[in-house]
Structure 1
């Protein structure tokens, strides 16, 4: 079911191949002028293109009879781009929506559409099975109900029953109409599955439907579930982006910031199992759909929020404005009136306000420009003392590119 290799007794025209996990990347046999050549399967060209966070992980992708099954080629490719080996299992209803050939193309492996004497489900999800995770995406309310009540009458439920009995984690991405998802019986089935350790990826509620989560969100949850989980049970707050100080109703004073450092730190904390809270000011870096955030605008806004911090770890790479206009003009100041002189006054230092609500580690950031290494370190250590930090990250932004 993995790579292809010639049988032990090949002949020049033989087309018999067998599965062997030791062979390596999946190859495709091609005959030209009576000679046998092999070429890499297209799925292999994607492997690790985005990251290696799922390298060495084997994921069984269970597909049930929702129209969202059409998204599973993209989903399989996204998992492979993070390094995973993906094996697809289709229920009979799913095979009426997406052809097994599509997922064989997507994964580079044969697709299971029926339970046979080969006992494929035990190879993957039995005791000592190869699978690191069973991902059911999309998962219909019908399948959720069957798993909740121990009913096993489809390929996907057979894999689920065995995964649960073998201690293999199960991750479910539901897809259904809202009326089905809100049915009290279905809600009870959700609750039952959560009680036995199954994790759910919340659907997107749009157009009177509970649509399957997008492929990036599902991939992020897979990475989180199969990651080191060394931050599980930890509440991590990341504060990033820039504050803004209004000059008038149109213009602002601010600091340069993309928000990228904080967003990346929040993503990593999420992938390591933390409960992540992201506070975000003005920013340029896109935020993943699976990473919710709370916005702030001015330094005063952020100062008020800092008084309510409740976190184990707080990381603050935010670019807080050091100055604010002493007066804010109403409307828009006209350029036709000539030049403009601004009176700026310093904003209050607020990093120390995060200390009270941070139970374990408070991390601050110190940005300077054009200073010596000794001076940069001295100013950073002064900030540690001033704000009672546990760690500080110091950068000379004149040496930072990008």
Structure 2
């Protein structure tokens, strides 16, 4: 079995059962293509590859075969590869696309396997995603062709990065994300939608200063990634700290109020709401401008609304899961406090941990998963614990 098969779906199922044909042309950016193909595979895609003969001056066929795990085609034979690949594949991704190839596709010229296969996709209305890479002068010279191609309903151009006088190929993550948007699976269906609140929040002392906490956001990101690997649709409301990867839709907030308001706004479209965020319990009475640092300052705090309590009031039938972090408590006291929160806010599950054992930002964690019917202790890396939590949630959902 080719090593790529072990990569399939290790990040998400967003491209599961999708067949993507990657066409490589003779730009120096072609050396990045194996990385691109591997990233597509990590989201579940089966990847095939065609190249122009000139491409072999930049990157060898073996390197491209290593990247996709399938045969690499460089010419049309009696197997009529351009028709076979069109029939089998869901999308043509030209990465990188030279000025020559882009111009020929627009003019309807097919003189090699890449341009001829492109005409099959263009005429058949299957998606073509074109990722240009060339000198900026050349890009300007073929701008007319690019603009005309954009007018086709099935052709998409990923804008290059204009740097150092060049139209450089777009980032691999941007290209993969674009591909997911065009041909990816719609995972946002009932009983499959997860909203995660993550990271720390801040409260403004004045227009410059804030009070906050040291939440790293690692646990919430690990949960988001684990749910994605299991085929859930995931969005994250993210405060400060580590942000989720590019393929997870993220809503940035700062304060506890912003996080609550965003959770209320989005919550109606989700089945499961998980708050792993370290949300400020107190906010500061309003101060204008910038307070003077010339003298001691007394700050008056007032309580913030409890996010889980407010969410449960509005969303009575959704699965809501909370976290309870304490410091230096014995096991019995930690579980007791977590159970009190579980029952007070009518949560479906609560996950409790003691920060004196593993502090904010640590890669490892020890938690207690608590529901009304069981208590289970878990320990390991945050990624390992997140995977076990997802398994528990899957049993609750029973999709």
The TM-score bracket by the shorter chain reads 0.5 to 0.7
Structure 1: unaligned runs, 5 residues or longer: 1-24, 27-42, 384-391
Would the alpha carbon gap of residues 267 and 292 (structure 1) be closer, same or farther in structure 2, given more than 3 Å must change? farther
1:362 is displaced (CA, Å) by: 8.3
| Equivalent position of 2:302 in the other structure | 345
| Equivalent position of 2:133 in the other structure | 175
> Aligned equivalents of 1:93 and 1:121: distance in 2?
18
Deviates most, 291-300 or 73-82: 291-300
Equivalenced residue count is: 338
Would the alpha carbon gap of residues 220 and 299 (structure 1) be closer, same or farther in structure 2, given more than 3 Å must change? same
| Equivalent position of 1:282 in the other structure | 240
Are the aligned partners of 1:134 and 1:170 in contact in 2 as well (CA < 8 Å)? yes
| Equivalent position of 2:198 in the other structure | 240
User: The residue matched to 1:79 in structure 2 has which SS?
Assistant: helix
Would the alpha carbon gap of residues 61 and 185 (structure 1) be closer, same or farther in structure 2, given more than 3 Å must change? same
| Equivalent position of 1:4 in the other structure | none
Would the alpha carbon gap of residues 341 and 259 (structure 1) be closer, same or farther in structure 2, given more than 3 Å must change? farther
Matches within 5 A, 1:60-79: 60-79=21-40
Are the aligned partners of 1:380 and 1:393 in contact in 2 as well (CA < 8 Å)? no
Matches within 5 A, 1:23-62: 25=1, 43-44=3-4, 47-48=7-8, 50-51=10-11, 53=13, 57-62=18-23
Are the aligned partners of 2:96 and 2:169 in contact in 1 as well (CA < 8 Å)? yes
Would the alpha carbon gap of residues 347 and 277 (structure 1) be closer, same or farther in structure 2, given more than 3 Å must change? same
* Structure with greater Cα Rg: 1
> Aligned equivalents of 1:125 and 1:70: distance in 2?
25
Are the aligned partners of 2:23 and 2:92 in contact in 1 as well (CA < 8 Å)? yes
1:125 is displaced (CA, Å) by: 1.5
The match for 1:299 among 248, 251, 256 is 256
- Is 1:366 the counterpart of 2:319? The answer is no
Would the alpha carbon gap of residues 374 and 158 (structure 1) be closer, same or farther in structure 2, given more than 3 Å must change? same
Question: Which fold has the larger relative contact order, with Cα–Cα distance below 8 Å and residues 6 or more apart in sequence?
Answer: 2
1:258 is displaced (CA, Å) by: 0.8
Are the aligned partners of 2:106 and 2:145 in contact in 1 as well (CA < 8 Å)? no
> Aligned equivalents of 1:165 and 1:71: distance in 2?
29
The match for 1:323 among 279, 282, 294 is 282
- Is 1:211 the counterpart of 2:172? The answer is no
> Aligned equivalents of 1:293 and 1:368: distance in 2?
23
1:321 is displaced (CA, Å) by: 0.6
TM-score, with normalisation over the residues of structure 1? 0.62
Structure 2: unaligned runs, 5 residues or longer: 326-333, 355-366, 369-378, 383-399
User: The residue matched to 1:65 in structure 2 has which SS?
Assistant: coil
| Equivalent position of 1:122 in the other structure | 83
User: The residue matched to 2:110 in structure 1 has which SS?
Assistant: coil
> Aligned equivalents of 2:219 and 2:18: distance in 1?
28
- Is 1:138 the counterpart of 2:96? The answer is yes
| Equivalent position of 2:343 in the other structure | 378
